[in-house]
């Protein structure tokens, strides 16, 4: 299987291509979908084979005995991330947006503050607000072209009603792989302000060569307030399976979370469980190594082409396939640079303000696509901003 293959997703009920015209006015026939965070690639053969085996058997009844599924998760976390997980600590949610919402529901009350380091993945604020909680935005400064954590400023900002912090690690949209020292700082901040720390690590497998992700669970002294969230869906491009792992080692937090799961009658979908079990395997691991190398070269080509346009700056990615491009240097207003990208280049992207404070001058481009799509996108962008060159 080659990541260079163009797979036509139009007409498959795929949100990225099939909703593009309605939401952006960009026709999928002539435009490029670079918004929703999924990849234009098929998952590894081991995942396809697991699904095929289900189809061949053909009876889709209730699932029982999750032991192989839980063992696969534990194997993955230990082998890929050096983190030993107790299978009894794993909850399967309907993905990690659901996992975040479940944490908000289980560990906070209406009116409580939930802290986000912004700009950050937009769905966090959406589910927090929808649950009647207060989104407390702590804006991250950009230092030497990368997001950093400013605990002194944020200590002064806390009002006392904050009960939870949702961290994105690695960071979407900045692509940061937080260092151990930074993670220890986050843990200390959570303790200082008595916050439950929810660490969303959905992007943990997709790191650039040379980068090492540290699970928050490896940071000392945080286990009694920590909720870890991981998933195979981003890593293996199976987001439609809607399965996520919420992993809680603290018995008290686990009992609270289990109570909410039971009250809502949540149980997982068998398709997702089969796919995840197959993905978290040596064959899956080899595929992830290949996809990371491919994405790194995409990022290099994209950044080189975008940074050659005066006034544009693509943040260097340490992780994720989501390029975060700052247009501030063009001196253009948001409407103008966005129109040039969407109407001029015909590329559908995510808009910076939806990621919260600090996102205004940015657009997010998904570069998990065949190489020829990336070079086409760069050429379109250079043409759309040709007058600046």
- Where do contacts with ligand PLP occur on this chain (CB under 6 A)? 37, 95-97, 121, 168, 172, 200, 202, 231, 233, 239, 244
| Tokens matching residue 191 | 């303790």
- By beta-carbon proximity to ligand PLP, the closer residue of 127 and 316 is 127
Minimum separation from the CB atom of position 100 to ligand PLP (A)? 7
Minimum separation from the CB atom of position 81 to ligand PLP (A)? 16
Cβ–Cβ < 8 Å for 208, 238: no
Minimum separation from the CB atom of position 231 to ligand PLP (A)? 5
Minimum separation from the CB atom of position 37 to ligand PLP (A)? 3
C-alpha dist (Å) from residue 327 to 223, 311, 344, 346: 40, 6, 15, 17
Among 173, 168, 243, residue whose Cα is nearest residue 213 = 168
Query: Distance between CA 358 and CA 361 in Å, rounded?
Result: 8
Query: Distance between CA 308 and CA 310 in Å, rounded?
Result: 6
| Number of residue whose CB is nearest ligand PLP | 95
- By beta-carbon proximity to ligand PLP, the closer residue of 219 and 239 is 239
| Tokens matching residue 26 | 């960009």
- By beta-carbon proximity to ligand PLP, the closer residue of 234 and 346 is 234
- By beta-carbon proximity to ligand PLP, the closer residue of 97 and 103 is 97
Among 136, 138, 133, residue whose Cα is nearest residue 112 = 133
Query: Distance between CA 25 and CA 244 in Å, rounded?
Result: 32
Query: Distance between CA 71 and CA 115 in Å, rounded?
Result: 33
- By beta-carbon proximity to ligand PLP, the closer residue of 95 and 370 is 95
Minimum separation from the CB atom of position 35 to ligand PLP (A)? 11
Residues 6+ apart with CB under 8 A from 19: none
- By beta-carbon proximity to ligand PLP, the closer residue of 95 and 305 is 95
Among 358, 291, 367, 357, residue whose Cα is nearest residue 323 = 367
Minimum separation from the CB atom of position 143 to ligand PLP (A)? 22
The full 3-state SS of 41-52, as one line of letters, equals CCCCHHHHHHHH
Minimum separation from the CB atom of position 264 to ligand PLP (A)? 16
- By beta-carbon proximity to ligand PLP, the closer residue of 214 and 340 is 214
């Amino acid at each position: 299987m080659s990541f260079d293959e163009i797979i036509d997703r139009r007409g498959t009920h795929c949100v990225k291509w099939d909703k593009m015209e309605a939401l952006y006015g960009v026709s999928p026939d002539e435009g490029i979908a670079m918004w929703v965070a999924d990849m234009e690639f098929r998952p590894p053969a081991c995942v396809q084979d697991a699904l095929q085996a289900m189809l061949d058997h053909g009876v889709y009844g209730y699932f029982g005995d999750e032991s192989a599924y839980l063992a696969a998760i534990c194997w993955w976390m230990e082998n890929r991330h050096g983190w030993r997980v107790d299978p009894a600590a794993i909850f399967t949610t309907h993905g990690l947006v659901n996992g975040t919402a479940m944490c908000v529901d289980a560990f906070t009350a209406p009116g409580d503050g939930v802290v986000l380091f912004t700009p950050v993945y937009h769905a966090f604020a959406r589910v927090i607000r929808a649950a009647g909680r207060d989104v407390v935005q702590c804006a991250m400064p950009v230092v030497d072209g990368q997001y950093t954590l400013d605990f002194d400023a944020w200590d002064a900002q806390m009002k006392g009603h904050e009960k939870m912090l949702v961290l994105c690690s690695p960071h979407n949209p900045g692509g940061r792989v937080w260092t151990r020292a930074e993670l220890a700082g986050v843990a200390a901040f959570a303790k200082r302000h008595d916050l439950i720390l929810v660490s969303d690590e959905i992007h943990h497998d997709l790191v650039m060569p040379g980068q090492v992700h540290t699970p928050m669970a490896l940071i000392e002294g945080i286990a009694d307030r920590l909720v870890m969230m991981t998933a195979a869906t981003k890593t293996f491009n199976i987001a439609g399976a809607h399965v996520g792992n919420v992993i809680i080692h603290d018995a008290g937090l686990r009992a609270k979370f289990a109570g909410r799961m039971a009250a809502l009658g949540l149980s997982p979908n068998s398709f997702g469980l089969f796919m995840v079990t197959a993905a978290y395997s040596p064959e899956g691991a080899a595929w992830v190594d290949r996809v990371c190398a491919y994405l790194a070269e995409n990022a290099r080509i994209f950044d080189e082409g975008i940074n050659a346009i005066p006034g544009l700056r693509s943040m260097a990615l340490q992780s994720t396939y989501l390029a975060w491009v700052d247009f501030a240097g063009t001196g253009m207003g948001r409407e103008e640079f966005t129109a040039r990208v969407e109407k001029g280049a015909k590329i559908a992207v995510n808009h910076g303000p939806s990621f919260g404070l600090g996102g205004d001058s940015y657009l997010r481009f998904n570069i998990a696509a065949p190489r020829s799509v990336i070079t086409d996108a760069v050429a379109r962008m250079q043409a759309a901003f040709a007058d600046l060159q």
